[in-house]
Amino acid sequence: MKYLKLTLIAFLAFHFSNAQTVNMEEKSFTSKSGTVVKGDVGKLMVSENRDNPYAEEIAIHFIRLKSTNPNPQAPIMYLEGGPGSSCTWQAENEHYLENWLSYLALGDVILVDQRGTGAGTERVLYLWKKDPPADILANYETLENHAKKVKQAALEAFNQRGVDLKGYTTLESAKDLDQLRKALSYEKISLLGFSYGTHLGQAYMKYFGDYVDQAVLAGVEGLNHTFKLPSAMDIHFRKLALMSNADNRVNKEVPDLLALYKKVIENLKKNPVEIEVISLLSGQPIPMKIGEFGLNLILFLDLGDASDLPVIPRLLYQIDQGDYSSLRWFIQKRMSFLYGTQGMATTMDPASGVTASRLSRIATEQKSTLFGKLYGFLQGSDPAWPNPDLGEDFRAPLTSNIRTLFLSGTLDFNTPPYQAEEVKWGFSNSSHLIVNNAGHEQILNHPKATETIIRFLKRENVADVALSYPQLKFIPIKGNQKDLWHPSLD
């Protein structure tokens, strides 16, 4: 009888924790043009792990910006990328809020901080309160050993906090979105997802598709695209090399970017270079050795962003000449990568996982990739870390008749256009616009992107729209040019 009572108590606790517990307060926001937008700042309480009746409740923070349309269409729920990035801050930023005004003319906009992001980050964020070892970026093994120490310490900290990491999956986040939809009394919602947000958006469409009106997915990561193909980075770098080789600003000093890269990598294999960077803890200079793996890691993190692509030839040329000023800037930019771990992101990507066939292809491509052991580190699994694998049904191709607009960039190797095409194959009512010369971060920032998305959401045909940036202009190898600038030059 005692056991039955305890079971009943656990069941009731689980039942009530999944009720639509939402708290909101009204607030006004002001855009760059001075437009005042009314909204609701709220949080939805959800179970950290719906499969665990003893799991704690966590808050999903959101801001609902209220539509100016007296007859609004389905609200637009914005899904930010990462995983790990938040978006509610955009309501407080006058520039970002200005961009949302066009959407508010259609319907409400809901900015959602996914579980483990925004104000919820602290619970699943572990900070390593020591400076990283000086040789951490000298080779694969030193970074891997440091990462294992950090993860072990993080797990101990999370256990002390009572964190259930098995609840940090894309499927749990999709359930959060639907719980929020119900709490806000919306019959249907439209989705606007960027990067990882497209992955989450597809999961929502797969499991809750009856409640989706329309979807816009920019920088598309399919349900089986979480683990990246080494060939994507190889092809992207070779394409960049062709563009660089044809550019008169760089080809006199760097006639063959690929050959220069290989030369620099060979030199770094033999003799890692030592630079000084600024500690994120003390604010003082600390030494750091950069080897082949360190440079490849920096390239992986920045090759998908078209704002950094123009300086890559100069970066490699300077390293070859013994000048590490640009390299120092890139390393400093990514220093936070070495000071801890985000438990949500560390759990969520492996949970989405990879099919056996794609994993086999990755293993084959790793043998010949330009970038060595990089993918083994970035996509390797840690047996000590919780692994709530979502399974093959989750990763299976999605078929849908939801009206969907896909957006991609020709210079985006993080989510290349062919990934969107692969996903689009299962959509019976969709369009795909490719933004010429756009990297990952530039897709939604195109001057006509918002206008095009608004037209689509008004149910207009946008298949004939052409979006393009000017051709990439590389930073000169030597000296400075007023109209060509990059922050690494300062």
Same domain for 140 and 109? no
Closest CA to 247 of 295, 320, 311, 316: 311
Closest CA to 143 of 277, 295, 265: 295
User: Which pLDDT score is estimated for 5?
Assistant: 44
Q: What is the mean pLDDT of the chain?
A: 93
User: Which pLDDT score is estimated for 6?
Assistant: 42
Q: Mean pLDDT over residues 392-404, rounded? A: 98
pLDDT tens for 406-446 read: 999 999 999 999 999 999 999 999 999 999 999 999 999 99
On whether residue 210 sits in a domain, the answer given is yes
Q: Mean pLDDT over residues 268-289, rounded? A: 96
Q: Mean pLDDT over residues 40-57, rounded? A: 96
User: How would you classify residue 372: left for phi > 0, otherwise alpha for psi between -120 and 50, otherwise beta?
Assistant: left
Same domain for 221 and 361? no
Strand 21-30 with 36-47, pairing: antiparallel
On whether residue 462 sits in a domain, the answer given is no
40 contacts: CB under 8 Å, gap ≥ 6: 24, 25, 26, 27, 63, 64, 66
pLDDT score of 475 more than 70: yes
User: Which pLDDT score is estimated for 380?
Assistant: 67
On whether residue 169 sits in a domain, the answer given is no
pLDDT tens for 462-473 read: 999 999 999 999
On whether residue 199 sits in a domain, the answer given is yes
Q: Mean pLDDT over residues 179-192, rounded? A: 98
Same domain for 9 and 142? no
Binned at pLDDT 50, 70 and 90, residue 479 comes out as: confident
Decide if 341 contacts 374 (C-beta within 8 A): no
Same domain for 242 and 308? yes
CA 96, CA 85: separation in Å to the nearest integer? Answer: 15
pLDDT tens for 329-354 read: 999 999 998 999 999 999 999 999 99
pLDDT tens for 78-123 read: 999 999 999 999 999 999 999 999 999 999 999 999 999 999 999 9
% of the chain surpassing 90 pLDDT: 88
pLDDT score of 388 more than 70: yes
Q: Mean pLDDT over residues 359-380, rounded? A: 86
Chosen domain end from 387, 415, 440: 387
Q: How many domains, in total, are found in the chain?
A: 2
On whether residue 472 sits in a domain, the answer given is no
User: Residue 16 is part of a domain; what is its CATH number?
Assistant: 3.40.50.1820
Q: Which residues of 454-479 are buried (b: 16+ CB within 10 A; e: fewer)?
A: bebbeeeebeebebebeebebbbbee
Decide if 419 contacts 220 (C-beta within 8 A): yes
On whether residue 466 sits in a domain, the answer given is no
User: Which pLDDT score is estimated for 2?
Assistant: 44
H-state helical runs in 82-208? 94-104, 140-161, 170-183, 196-208
Same domain for 221 and 252? no
By residue range, what is the domain housing residue 79?
A: 2-118+174-226+400-457
Same domain for 183 and 112? yes
On whether residue 374 sits in a domain, the answer given is yes
Q: Which residues sit opposite 63 in a β-bridge?
A: 41, 111
Same domain for 434 and 318? no
First vs last Cα of the chain: how many Å apart? 73
Same domain for 114 and 135? no
Closest CA to 475 of 463, 490, 454: 490
Same domain for 151 and 76? no
% of the chain surpassing 70 pLDDT: 96
Same domain for 312 and 340? yes
Summary count for the chain: helices (H), strands (E): 16, 13
Chosen domain end from 358, 387, 416: 387
On whether residue 145 sits in a domain, the answer given is yes
pLDDT tens for 7-45 read: 444 444 444 444 468 999 999 999 999 999 999 999 999
Chosen domain end from 329, 362, 387: 387
Q: Which residues of 301-323 are buried (b: 16+ CB within 10 A; e: fewer)?
A: bbbbbbebbbbbbbbbbbbeeee
CA 46, CA 22: separation in Å to the nearest integer? Answer: 9
CA 238, CA 236: separation in Å to the nearest integer? Answer: 5
Q: Rounded to whole angstroms, what are the CA distances from 123 to 58, 86, 127?
A: 9, 14, 11
Same domain for 208 and 234? no
User: Which pLDDT score is estimated for 9?
Assistant: 42
Same domain for 194 and 335? no
